[in-house]
Amino acid sequence: MPTAFQSPSHTEPMPRHVAIIMDGNGRWAQGRGLPRTAGHEKGAEAVRETVRHARRLGLECLTLFAFSTLNWQRPTSEVRDLMDLLERFLVDELPEMLQNGIRLVAIGERELLPAKVRTRLEETEARTAHGKDMTLVLAVSYDGRRDLVRAARQIAELARRGELLPADVDEAQLASVLSTADLPDVDLLVRTSGEKRLSGFLPFEACYAELHFTPIHWPDFGAEALDASIAEFARRHRRFGMTGEQAAALG
């Protein structure tokens, strides 16, 4: 069952794992008469600020939806700009990640990424693997259904080889073959820009998550907006199917 923990800098219960669908870069730019790329660039700054603040708050895990499988359908030039931004982010942020004990993990179909981005992601994962203070997960070329299908194939293959019986497959076993295997369940899922959809983001992992939809476009997100999302989480009463009294008794 997902749990909340008390951050050293927060008196309210904190989520262990926050996942964010970063939406609204294009609308932010269009509203200012700027090209969509300008929205993505400002969005990358919002990523920096949000990661920094999450680390300051003592969050255990932050997952950001940086690029979905469906995003490959965007114009080639926009895809290229997003890939360039991602690569630049990884290069620029490495020293700060190392300094702040941040471990970077990428989920998604990395084999579909341009070689230079994939290599950079894998180098960053290797260099930051010992980071103990926060896990930053970047979902890149990610789609939750596809990850579930891949996991189901892996289970079928284990069964075919006689290494697994049908009765061995339970929630924990399935979780162990997802790309998010060693991460805690998502406690709080945030989507920016007023859209109220999950868009294939972490369907298994965020099953019991609290959802927070904010009208803020991603480029305007940052420390204050993350605080507001976490404050909203702290106001929710998570009961996990129990009565209010039972849940309160468990703390």
User: 71 catalytic, yes or no?
Assistant: yes
State both tokens at 73.
């359908």
Please report how close the Cβ of residue 146 comes to ligand FPP at its closest, in angstroms.
17
User: 23 catalytic, yes or no?
Assistant: yes
Helix (H, G, I), strand (E, B) or coil at 114: coil
Query: By rule CB under 6 A, what string of x and - marks binding of each residue 75-114 to ligand FPP?
Result: -------x--xx--x-------------------------
Selected binder of ligand FPP within 18, 19, 20, 22 (CB under 6 A): 22
Selected binder of ligand FPP within 2, 24, 131, 144 (CB under 6 A): 24
State how far the Cα of 164 lies from the Cα of 64, in Å rounded to an integer: 33
Please state, in angstroms and as integers, the Cα–Cα distance from residue 184 to each residue in 11, 17, 58, 201, 204, following that order. 21, 6, 15, 15, 12
For residue 197, the cross-strand partners are none
Please report how close the Cβ of residue 224 comes to ligand FPP at its closest, in angstroms.
17
Enumerate residues 38-67 that contact ligand FPP by CB under 6 A.
40, 43-44, 47, 64, 66-67
Selected binder of ligand FPP within 13, 15, 26, 222 (CB under 6 A): 26
State how far the Cα of 185 lies from the Cα of 188, in Å rounded to an integer: 9
Among 77, 76, 65, 86, CA closest to 192: 65
Size of the chain, expressed as the number of residues it contains: 251
Q: Does 222 bind ligand FPP (CB under 6 A)?
A: no
| 8 A C-beta contact, residue 68 and residue 23 | no
Please report how close the Cβ of residue 23 comes to ligand FPP at its closest, in angstroms.
5
Q: Does 23 bind ligand FPP (CB under 6 A)?
A: yes
Q: How many CB atoms lie within 10 A of CB 50?
A: 23
Q: Which residues bind ligand FPP (CB under 6 A)?
A: 22-27, 40, 43-44, 47, 64, 66-67, 71, 82, 85-86, 89, 138, 193, 218
Residue positions annotated with a catalytic role? 23, 71
